Chain A
Amino acid sequence: MVVTSPSAIDLAFERARRGDPEGFADWVRAGELPLRRSLRPFTRRVDVEAIVQEGLLRMWDLAPRIDLQGRDASLRYAARLVRNLALKEIERGARLDPIPPGDDDVVIQPDRPPDSGLRRIIMDCFSRLPRKPREALLARVSDGGDNPDRDLAASLGMRLNTFLQNIVRARRHLASCLESHGVPPREYLS
């Protein structure tokens, strides 16, 4: 019999099962991006952001009631959950396109620990942004998805479209700055 030691995400999920919000935060930190990437086949037909949020919230709700076995089992469970949510959303839209092929044996890995070097470069590039694009992007980042863009724009005295154009400019500056530091876009798209 092979006994595997629990992974960091297994330990975080165990804490979430006991109702520990910090444990759930650790679980989300390691699981969000792999779950998002797993939804790539559905990109054209569902708003992946909405599915990821719904799936993560359901994991918090379900955690105390599910007992999972095996390494990274909670992440594999969550991958099946978000896939089913995406399929339901497609059904709701009654679209006629074929559904992507099934994938019952989900292969998914927890996110790797953040690259501190990349983080430092992003922070440095952010600090060099022109004022208005930086303000707009900072408003979006600081808000953490709690308010719509129109409210964030109003708080900065900008029209919604101006606010969005400023964030677009900010991202272009960031991408260019990152590339000047030798960080190609695929590094932060992966």
Chain B
Amino acid sequence: MRADNDADRDALIEATASAFRERDASGRIVPSPAWRDLAPEDREAAFDHQIAARHVERALDPDGLSATARAVLLRARRLTQLVRGEQE
């Protein structure tokens, strides 16, 4: 998706605010496709937008966690269970 107008640009920036990230075959977290489509100056806007989004998420989450924190903690728990499963 490329930004042809302000609405597309805003939607692209919003897409980068999601904490969901794909992984490659090695398990590495890969950049958002929306981020790749942004112009350099819009990437700066996306950075500030992500910070604002995390503040809102923390305010709305009962545990005060951002979506980034929740995504990481979920992944960490899954990895730990995987390691324990392999050890048993």
Contact = CB atoms under 8 A, between A and B. Distances in A.
A32 to B, nearest CB: 6
A87 interface: no
Interface in A73-130: 89, 114, 118-119, 122-123, 126
Interface residues of A, number: 53
Interface string A12-35: 000000010100110011001100
A28 B14 contact: no
B72 A47 contact: no
Contacts of B60: 122-123, 126, 141
Interface in B1-28: 7, 10-11, 14-22, 28
Contacts of B80: 19, 21
Q: In terms of DSSP, what is the predominant structure of the interface of chain B?
A: helix
Contacts of B57: 141
B74 A146 contact: yes
B79 to A, nearest CB: 7
A43 B47 contact: yes
Given A114-B59, A148-B22, 20 more contacts: A25-B69, A28-B73, A29-B65, A33-B54, A43-B46, A47-B16, A49-B68, A53-B19, A57-B79, A123-B60, A140-B18, A141-B67, A144-B67, A144-B74, A145-B68, A145-B70, A145-B74, A164-B11, A165-B7, A188-B56
Interface of A: 19, 21, 24-25, 28-29, 32-33, 36-37, 40, 43-44, 46-50, 52-54, 56-57, 60-61, 89, 114, 118-119, 122-123, 126, 137, 140-141, 143-149, 161, 164-165, 167-168, 171, 174, 185, 188-190
